[in-house]
Amino acid sequence: MQLLKDLSRMSTHALSGIGVTLSVALLYDRGNRPKCILEAKPPDLQGNGSRGKKDMQTKSPRLKLVLSFFSVWAVMLLSAVLLSVFLHELAHGVGARLDRVHVSTGFNKVGNPNRTPDDPDFRTGMAESVLSSMFGPILTWVLAIAFTSLLHLFSRPRRSALVINALAQINCTLRALPVLFFLIPALIGRLHVEDEVSWGIWYVKMLLRPELARMDIHTLAATQSQLLLSYPAVWFPSMASLVISLACLALTYAQSFKLWSGVLSNWRTRSFFFLLPPLVWLLSYPLLDALDRVVRINW
């Protein structure tokens, strides 16, 4: 019964967060209205003046359009980060609950119940939960695929399309970058534990090397990195996660360049559009850490 209540609570948080975000965006899409900065194409000025005069006239409105677009896009990305990370952590909590492991979740880290990241015993003696480590990435994959699919239903550059685009790109980024943080050090023999990596380590120690079963995942990663990296099982979940994330990212960028071709019309704006989601995610860490100290849910 308690598990059903926890699942219901997570569903309520998820649906309300996504629902409010999309409802606000869709509300702006109703009715006939003038084109806004998210929908307009650069102005096509006419006249018989010199080419230099035309260039000066065109440059200022286009610059304002681009700056306005990216300002709104950055705010949407930050909102998507906060919502998506919170849902990711909620999924970790549900997985732990299914494993009958008691933890607390917030906006960034999983730890012991009734503890915050500032407490010295935040993760001391925390029980392992393979379902907890699985549920977070799986939910993020589902959201990335769902929002990528929704984005392709749009044929015009609506505000709601930009909201969906932000959610799609951020959920892709939430798995692509952490996996890269594992893969790059792993190529030189260093083992950095991310959610997907812990699945492989758990598989190795429980099924392939049962003599290691008593050691926790982080101790194994620190002391047996070369041994663990010799098993394909440690690599496979991360590679699968990277493929899913990059495939969705490629589809979202291709659709974005079609929908907002007026703004994303050259390599400079496209490059900035490409780099902004991971940049916003990385820069949001201080805010996520601050919220993580205040908002904790015990499972």
Q: Does 36 reside within a domain?
A: no
Q: Does 159 reside within a domain?
A: yes
Contacts of 60 (CB under 8 A, 6+ apart): none
Q: What percent of the chain has pLDDT over 70?
A: 80
Here the tokens at position 73 are: 């896009």
Q: Does 44 reside within a domain?
A: no
Q: Does 33 reside within a domain?
A: no
Higher-confidence residue of 40 and 263: namely 263
Q: Does 53 reside within a domain?
A: no
Number of domains making up the chain: 1
Q: Does 221 reside within a domain?
A: yes
In this model, does residue 71 exceed pLDDT 60?
yes
What is the rounded distance in angstroms from the CA atom of residue 270 to the CA atom of residue 91? 33
For residue 228, which of 185, 174, 177 has the smallest C-alpha distance? 185
In this predicted structure, which of 45-59, 168-182, 249-263, 266-280 has the lowest mean pLDDT?
45-59
Q: Does 285 reside within a domain?
A: yes
In this model, does residue 201 exceed pLDDT 90?
yes
In this model, does residue 236 exceed pLDDT 90?
yes
Higher-confidence residue of 61 and 52: namely 61
The pTM of the whole model exceeds 0.85 = no
Averaged pLDDT for residues 221-247? 94
In this predicted structure, which of 31-40, 72-81, 211-220 has the lowest mean pLDDT?
31-40
Q: Domain of 222?
A: 2-28+60-298
Higher-confidence residue of 56 and 189: namely 189
Residue type, 110: V
Task: Tell me the backbone φ, ψ of residue 288, rounded to 5 degrees.
Answer: -60, -40
Here the tokens at position 140 are: 């993020």
Q: Does 103 reside within a domain?
A: yes
pLDDT score, position 141 = 96
